[in-house]
A and B are shown apart, each in its own frame.
Chain A
Amino acid sequence: MNPELQGRTFAPTAPYLVGREKVREFARAVLSTSPLNTDPEAARAAGYGDVVAPPTFPIVIGELTLAQLLAEPDAGIDFTRVVHGDQRFSYTRPIVAGDELTATLAVTSIKSLGGHSMVTAESTIVDGTGAHVVTAISTLVVRGDE
């Protein structure tokens, strides 16, 4: 893949409105049993404005930034050869239903390792006021020809 991608920053994604039903759907899909993820009353009793998204929820927004990366004409990434290497979420505050989130992707590192390429991309997610919510850091391994 193209080493010149390193350091590239993409345009912010269109605002993503976090819906209560989407949070519930995602919570069920990751086998959550927490009422704070599904019941607005339970979430409010715990001090949140609405249902709280599970810790890995930002990956839903990550799909939007991944699409940006794969669509980059000079990236040279064949999606069928992509394997998820590692993932991290660093929060300033939790995501709750009603948040309007915008993600800005930056490619922070590209390395070659034994015919494979490893691309690390950092997605900085902010709310409607521009305040930081969470940063999602993904390393993708692009398998070389074997």
Chain B
Amino acid sequence: MSDLTVGEIIAEQTYSLSRDTLVRYAGASGDFNPIHYRDDVATSVGLPGVLAHGMLTMGFAVQPVVDWLGGDSGRVLDYQVRFTRPVLVPAEGESVVTVIAKVGALDDAGARIDLTVRFDDATVLGKAQVRVAL
């Protein structure tokens, strides 16, 4: 990994989210806000529909970096995101989210990996940065 260069793409991955994915995340995380599984509740609070937990998107968006680290999630030292747009998930079918991980900066300790996370032709996370030990 010593021959990394800033701007280099280190991983690219596509994830398909269904309502099942959201319900599974609700159970695992303990976040049972019904806007993540009930259309009637989502629309009653002014949302266009059921949306993925932001923390679910944050959770899988780092996985291509973890895979690149040989599965060693313990080398993630710092991870931050801004939630800029929701990922809508229909009752039937799937929503496809793409993640591109690029080297943002390099130093003696490791690297900063910048994530570009897109759904429906728009980015859904801003300032998504992962500091990793190399």
A→B interface (CB under 8 Å): 22, 25-26, 28-37, 42, 46, 48, 52-56, 59-60, 63, 79-81, 83-91, 93-94, 137
Known: A30-B63, A31-B60, A55-B73. A89 touches B25 (CB 8 A): no
B45: chain A residues at CB < 8 Å are: 80-81
Q: Which of A25, A37, A86 contacts B83 (CB 8 A)?
A: A86
Task: Report yes or no: A29 in contact with B28, Cβ–Cβ below 8 A.
Answer: yes
Q: How far is the CB of A111 from chain B (nearest CB, A)?
A: 15
Instruction: Tell whether B67 is near chain A: CB-to-CB under 8 Å.
Output: yes
A60 adjacent to B29 (CB under 8 Å): yes
Q: Are A56 and B28 in contact (CB under 8 A)?
A: no
Chain B 58-79 interface mask (CB, 8 Å, partner A; 1/0): 1110110011000111101111
Count of chain B residues near A, Cβ 8 A: 35
Interface core residue of B59, B79, B83 (most chain A CB under 10 Å)? B59
The 4 closest A-B pairs by CB, nearest first: A30-B59, A34-B71, A29-B28, A94-B74
Residue in B closest to A39 when the chains form the complex, CB atoms:
B71
Chain B residues with Cβ below 8 Å from A30 are 25, 28, 56, 59-60, 63
Contact of A55 with B76 in the complex, beta carbons under 8 Å: yes
**8 Å CB contact of A85 from B29, B56, B73, B83:** B83
Known: A84-B83, A85-B83, A86-B82. A36 touches B58 (CB 8 A): no
Question: Can you pick out 15 interface pairs between chain A and chain B where the beta carbons lie within 8 Å of each other?
Answer: A25-B28, A29-B28, A30-B63, A31-B21, A36-B71, A36-B72, A48-B74, A55-B59, A55-B66, A55-B79, A56-B58, A59-B55, A86-B83, A89-B78, A137-B80
Question: How near does chain A come to B25, taking the closest CB pair, in angstroms?
Answer: 5
Contact flag A37-B73 (CB < 8 Å), given A56-B59, A87-B58, A90-B78: yes
Which residue of chain A has the shortest Cβ distance to B77 in the bound complex? A91
* A38 and chain B: residue at smallest CB distance: B71
Of all chain A residues, which has the CB nearest B56?
A30
